[in-house]
Structure 1
Amino acid sequence: MNVSVIVPTRNYGRFLADAVKSILGQSLPAMEVIVVDDASDDNTVEVARGFGDKIRYVRLDVRGGAAAARNTGLKLAVGEVVCFLDSDDIWLPGALEILVGGLEAHPEAAGASARIVNVPDSAMDEALACPASLVERAFQCWGAGGLLLRRNSFEKVGFFDEGTSIAELVAWVSLARDQGLEFATFQELVVLRRVHGANSVLTMPTLAPGYMHLIRQHMERQRAAASREPQS
């Protein structure tokens, strides 16, 4: 199973190397690693180019947001399955092997989801040294890093909504489920999500209305589907 790993990034040059190294160090190698730079103005380009031909680096000249960066990577990807790893997060060794093995065991599934854990930036080295100590705090991942998706599922659901400013992966999974796609879930911990001062999803309470909008969209799709069902 050929895997394309897409790394969207913006102004995370200080974290990017750790993310890419965790991909390149997997026991099951990815077919390609695509780093999509969303018009960064820090040292992201220098960090990315430091990996040479081990990765494909693409820069967007105009900032488009995370969804646009993910869609850019999708259009370039050639693997039969794709996974997104955010540039401030880290895959544990064996993560890709776990995700691919899970998807192969469920050929009917559009994707496979494992588990993620939040780790303070200052504790990353300790977490990497002893990830087993974090298992009890892990939770199911419907976002980047812990979700592997079949490339052809995007032909049915479409790409990410570039009008969505947050949780575009969660919104996509919700839409996919409403369209009948299935996802296999697994208990293994595969990704460490770095918690730092710039995590918009974790540190900005103003994003709550955006999540409510996603919930409303999901409920509206469910009501619309129910109204189309024949009445007994």
Structure 2
Amino acid sequence: MESTVQAVTVVIPCYNDGAFIMDALNSILRQTVLPERIIIIDDGSGAETMSVLKSIKNNIVEVVYQTNQGVCTARNNGIGKATSSYILTLDADDIFEPTFIEKAKHILDSDMKVGVVCCHYKEFGNSSKNKDIIKPKGKITQDFLVKNNGVASALFRKKCWEEVNGYDVNFDKGYEDWDFWLSVLSQGWEMRIIQEPLFNYRKKIHSRDTMALAQFDKELKMKIFLKHKKVYESSIDVFAQQMILRNTMLVTNLNKTKEGLEFQLGKIILKPIRIIKRLLFPSNE
């Protein structure tokens, strides 16, 4: 049973993110509705990050240290320590805008069909800020068949985590949040998206996400498909439609890119010919 007052616990896994962890933590401490508790799980960080974590002095912040076991185990250990009804996940290098908890909590308080609340977000980092707003759709299981339509950092009911036995540690190479959302939504829950960019995702040149996409994308997608095969089988028509649409979009974009490259190549080849023509026949210009 959920308590009468739906409190929030924030769980922040941290692995060698000493340079960013205070930004993440302060983004929670600046929330218009504060959480009951913030649990930072240090996943075997080095001395520099350990020094930063040991300097944190706040009554609602608890730092837990573990040997390096990966983000799934870190999140599970943090959530397991929480006594609140709601869990907010946040990576140690990302940032929430001040009103996220207030707005997300209101949705969970108001609609028992909703198990998870995410939001639109922006990317930043690498010495530049991306002004584009990324808009995941959320909703139900069928919206997660060909891509992750949620965000790893989200507010959700602890009972959702309990129902699916937490994050699957077999997704140690990535896409664990996509797998987690599919597991949760397949239990009948819905994901609601706040139509505002209340989250900021730090883009790094070298990160677990970029490595997952570059090196393990096919392997991880097959693992998701095989684990959730019954979900895909029960939604085979929708899955086929989405794959056809996705393939058409990829072919269209590829053709546009090819045409653009051919046009640019043509300009490069013709440029010296035009220069020579101007030199030889200036009166024709």
Q: TM-score range by the shorter chain?
A: 0.7 to 0.9
1:48-127 superposed matches below 5 A = 48-54=53-59, 55-60=61-66, 62-123=67-128
Distance 1:29 1:142 in 2: 23
Distance 2:163 2:211 in 1: 34
Shift of 1:85: 0.6
In structure 1, which of residues 191, 195, 200 is the aligned counterpart of residue 208 of structure 2? 200
> Does the alignment pair 1:152 with 2:148?
no
SS of the residue 2:216 aligns to? helix
With over 3 angstroms needed to count, the CA separation of the structure-2 counterparts of 1:67 and 1:94, relative to structure 1, is: same
Shift of 1:195: 0.9
Tell me if structure 2 keeps the 8 A contact 1:201–1:207.
no
Distance 1:23 1:68 in 2: 22
Percent identity (aligned): 22
In structure 2, which of residues 131, 134, 140 is the aligned counterpart of residue 138 of structure 1? 134
Q: Give TM-score scaled by structure 2 length.
A: 0.70
In structure 2, which of residues 28, 40, 45 is the aligned counterpart of residue 23 of structure 1? 28
Distance 1:91 1:42 in 2: 26
Which segment is superposed worse, 62-71 or 160-169? 160-169
Which residue does the alignment assign to 1:212?
221
With over 3 angstroms needed to count, the CA separation of the structure-2 counterparts of 1:109 and 1:36, relative to structure 1, is: same
Shift of 1:217: 3.1
> Does the alignment pair 1:10 with 2:15?
yes
Number of residues of Structure 1 aligned to a counterpart in Structure 2: 216
Gaps of 5+ in 1: 128-133, 228-232
Residue by residue over 1:131-174, the C-alpha shift from the partner in whole angstroms, topping out at 9 and shown as x without a partner, is xxx4x5222262332x2110112222111111112121221111
Q: Give TM-score scaled by structure 1 length.
A: 0.84
With over 3 angstroms needed to count, the CA separation of the structure-2 counterparts of 1:52 and 1:83, relative to structure 1, is: same
Distance 2:46 2:55 in 1: 17
Distance 1:39 1:11 in 2: 8
Which residue does the alignment assign to 1:175?
183
Gaps of 5+ in 2: 1-5, 137-148, 237-285
Distance 1:187 1:221 in 2: 31
